[in-house]
Amino acid sequence: MSLQTATRPRDRHEQKLLVIRRRPRVPENATFSDLPHFLNQGDLLIFNDAATYPASLKARTQGGQSIEVRLVAKNEDGSWQALVLGEGDWRIRTEDRPAPPRLGPKDVLFFGNHQSSDEKQSGTIVPDFALPDARRFTASIEAVSKFSNRFMTLRFEVSEQEMWKKIFELGQPIQYSYLKEELSLWSVQTLYSSLPWASEMPSAGRPFTAELLIKLARKGIEFATLTHATGISSTGDEALDEKLPLNERFFIPAKTIEAIGKAKNEGKRVVAVGTSVVRALEGCYANHGALHEGMGSTGIILSATTKLCVVSGVISGIHDQSESHFRLLEAFAPREALIQAAQFAQKYGYLQHEFGDSCLVLRS
């Protein structure tokens, strides 16, 4: 059994919502705009407001080979965790992309154009090592992962201000080979995105429209935000994919902690919009035995054995049984219920993956 994949972003107004609750015991087929119907006054929705930055950059090695660098996550010290892929473009599945040429610490990667517009006209190509400083944008490799030669720590050799300028000039959003068309930067943002912490879109929030937010607000459903650095979904390297999700950082504002406390006190539900929100909240709770405002990081893996301490429900995408995503939902509902839901989803033509339909899983 397998679900159909959304090959172009689902129209927000046509988005389906599969609802999985204790009662009724059968899955329910709804549209995403029906969401207020399944929540009560005082329930709290928590959104991951991370914006998606243009994480994919074309680069060249010192030997002149073309590579793609995906900036997975920014470290506290300003360096980046990066996935490096060999030649090829987004139409080739990540797992089919060739590995990059062998790279090691102190190797330098070159970004941006060889040619100015004048040189383009005259056909001149200036070698990377001879580029004037103003046109040099380079990163040096600090370390290569022991699990995979595609995964490394690199550092751009400029100020933070200049680094962001270049990333926004040269970068493109990470693309998905199963989509028909290339995604622009604005098509990978949620309605409410803010800080650029996400290398891939926190896609559970994609179907929210202003109309829906206002409908929810009118019903007395509360909102809060946190920022979670969602990492990449696939690295194309099995050994490395097994390590996913990697440690991810998050930021929880004081206002959000307050709102959760209030909802809990009043016996209301705390519903995470996206599994990244679940990871941030439950990861924070696991780290401290309570929720703490501010920065944190987590490598928490959710499964049937996870005891959820903060979150009572999750809104998420539709994913196949074979995926880790499915196992993660077992923290919210028994396996049989999820399998039944998956069959139901197939029957009703639900589309899966980042740009497909949604599910709401409520524990209570």
Partner 1 sequence: MDLHNKNILITGASQGLGLGLAMALADKGANLILVARGEAKLNRVAEKLRLGRPSHQFIYGISADISKKEAIYRLVIRATALLKAPLDILINNASTLGTTPLRLLLDTGCEDLEQVLQTNLIGPHRLTKAIVGNMVLRKEGLIVNISSDAAIEAYPTWGSYSASKAANDHLTRIWAAELEPTRVRFLSVDPGEMNTQMHADAVPDADPQSLADPGQVALKLVHLIANAETEKNGSRVILSKWEVPNVASNRNAPARSA
For binding to partner 1 (CB under 8 A), which residues are involved? 47, 49, 51, 53-54, 160-161, 164-165, 168-169, 184-186, 189-196, 210, 213-214, 217-218, 223-225, 255
CB of 109 to partner 1, least distance (A): 21
Q: How far is the CB of 11 from partner 1 (least distance, A)?
A: 18
Nearest to partner 1 of 60, 74 (CB atom): 74
What's the rounded Cα separation, in Å, for the pair 170 and 97? 21
Which is closer to partner 1, CB of 197 or CB of 355?
197
Minimal distance, residue 83 CB to partner 1, in Å? 20
Looking at beta carbons only, is 56 or 235 nearer to partner 1?
A: 56
- From the CB of 255, what's the least distance to partner 1, in Å? 8
Residue 41 Cβ vs partner 1, minimum distance, rounded to whole Å: 14
Nearer to partner 1, 135 or 165 (CB): 165
- What is the maximum span of the chain, computed from C-alpha positions, in angstroms? 71
Least Cβ distance, residue 227 to partner 1 (angstroms): 9
Q: Which is nearer to partner 1, 56 or 190 (CB)?
A: 190
**How many other CB atoms are found less than 10 A from the CB of residue 210?**
9
CB of 166 to partner 1, least distance (A): 10
What would the 3-class secondary structure string for the chain be? CCCEECCCCCCHHHCEEEEECCCCCCCEEEEHHHHHHHCCCCCEEEEECCEECCCEEEEECCCCCEEEEEEEEECCCCCEEEEEECCCCCCCCHHHCCCCCCCCCCCEEEECCCCCHHHHHHCCCCCHHHCCHHHCEEEEEEEECCCCCCEEEEEECCCHHHHHHHHHHHCECCCCCCCCCCCCCHHHCCCCCCCEEECCCCHHHCCCCHHHHHHHHHCCCEEEEEEECCCCCCCCCHHHHCCCCCCEEEEECHHHHHHHHHHHHCCCCEEEECHHHHHHHHHHHHHHCCCCCEEEEECCCCCCCCCCCCCCEEEEECCCCCCHHHHHHCCCCCHHHHHHHHHHHHHCCCEECCCCCEEEEECC
- CB nearer partner 1, residue 148 or residue 189: 189
Compare residues 202 and 236 and give the one whose CB is closer to partner 1. 202
Q: CB of 162: closest distance to partner 1 in angstroms?
A: 11
Compute the least distance from the CB of residue 263 to partner 1, in Å.
Answer: 15
Closer to partner 1 at the Cβ: 155 or 327? 155
Q: Is 171 left (phi over 0), alpha (psi -120 to 50) or beta?
A: beta
Q: Closer CB to partner 1, residue 213 or residue 244?
A: 213
Residue 203 Cα to chain centre, angstroms = 7
